[in-house]
Amino acid sequence: MRIPRGIARTGLTVLAALTLGLVVLILVSDRPSRAVTFFFAGPFLNLYSFGNMLGSAVPLMLTGMGIVAAFRASVFNLGGEGQVYTGALIATMICLALPRLPGWAGILLSLAAGTLVGAVLAGLSGLFYARWRTNELLSSFLLSAAAVLIVDYLIAGPLDDPASNLLATPAVASRFRLLRILPPSYLDAGVAAVLLLAVLLTVYLFKTRSGYELRMCGSNREFAQYGGIRVGLYLVLPMVMSGGFHGLAGGMSILGTHYRCIQGFSVGLGWNGIAVALIGRNHPLGVIPAALLYAYLEAGAQAAVLHAGMSFEIATLVQAVIFYLVTAQGLISWIPREGLLKHRGRPPLRGRRKR
């Protein structure tokens, strides 16, 4: 069976990343053999760690899909971190503010609110870009960075749960918590919804007219406009979708895993979403195995930290190295007109003439 070249390259990169992670572990850890064992086998030790690994992949799948939605339109959402975090907080607050709602209503409402918040945050950047050519990379990042700080403040301050040792909000009522499907791990039923979303996104992108138009705008915006596609729409819509996915990721993390908004719980979800999208070759279905892989690496690192006394930053370093390798291995050839900023061609063309 011949493996297509692109996938072979991806595989090689992943392998290289794992090897490098291994090397770093051996070099840095005090007890290398133990660290290595736990790094690679840790997640499979028992149902708890295995289920948790799967569970941690779920928000990654969502952020990965969010990045795919934007990348396919050649729009860049660098504000994932803030969108996830803010979405998580809003979802928590809704549950806390309306404890008497029936379970399903609260879940739906809070997830919808989280999605909405993320969508608005990213959508603002998209709007600024469509209307005034404001660089959306910078604006999305700046807004998100500010949002993270503000949410940090809110959690540590007015919304802090005095009863808990953590810097976190109070926990949401148990009726709002998603069903655990692999106890004692925290893998929840949300995974089914996320898988469904991946399929829906795939169908949207590749089998509908709107998805086609979005991809055309990503390939060549001038051509898209020339062909009668509303380019302005596809500057904002992908950002809105992207932010929505990120916000949803935040909400689902709360309702499925943490049950309260802990300060800094979501650090890295945004950036890792980008890596996951890349490993998944910018395809919603590819994001699923990519997120699983990433989650595996993270779970392995955590196991090494827990059982082999490795420090937390090392795990972050391993992830960062992997991120670098992933981006640098030329997987990106299919991102339209890679490399220079100039590839985006002429300024975005607005949908309406003005007198």
Q: From the CB of residue 157, how many other CB atoms can be counted at a distance below 10 Å?
A: 9
Among 6, 99, 227, 264, binds other proteins (CB under 8 A): 227
Alpha-carbon distance of 138 to 110, in angstroms, equals 29
Say whether residue 351 binds other proteins (CB under 8 A): yes
Closer to other proteins by Cβ: residue 90 or 231: 231
- Output the six-digit token pair for 252: 């689902």
- Reported as half-sphere exposure (CB side, CA atoms, 13 A), residue 117 has a value of 29
Among 3, 138, 166, 192, binds other proteins (CB under 8 A): 138
Closer to other proteins by Cβ: residue 188 or 213: 213
Binding positions for other proteins, 270-329, rule CB under 8 A = 271, 274, 278, 311, 313-314, 316-317, 319-321, 323-324, 327-329
Closer to other proteins by Cβ: residue 46 or 311: 311
Say whether residue 160 binds other proteins (CB under 8 A): no
Say whether residue 168 binds other proteins (CB under 8 A): no
Task: Dump the DSSP string for 27-44.
Answer: HH-SSHHHHHHHHHHGGG
Residue with tokens 């029936």: 102
Say whether residue 8 binds other proteins (CB under 8 A): no
Binding positions for other proteins, 109-128, rule CB under 8 A = 128
Q: From the CB of residue 351, how many other CB atoms can be counted at a distance below 10 Å?
A: 12
Say whether residue 141 binds other proteins (CB under 8 A): yes
Task: Dump the DSSP string for 256-269.
Answer: IIISS-BTTTTTTH
Binding positions for other proteins, 174-203, rule CB under 8 A = 203
Count interface residues toward other proteins (CB under 8 A): 83
Of the candidates 327, 309, 304, 307, the residue with the CA atom closest to the CA atom of residue 21 = 304
Among 223, 264, 306, 309, binds other proteins (CB under 8 A): 223
Beta partners for residue 188, in sequence order: 180
**Minimum CB distance to other proteins, residue 154 (Å):** 9
Candidates 47-55, 191-199, 289-297, 340-348; binding stretch for other proteins (CB under 8 A): 340-348
Of the candidates 295, 261, 225, the residue with the CA atom closest to the CA atom of residue 153 = 261
**Minimum CB distance to other proteins, residue 254 (Å):** 20
Contact 258, 52 (CB under 8 A): no
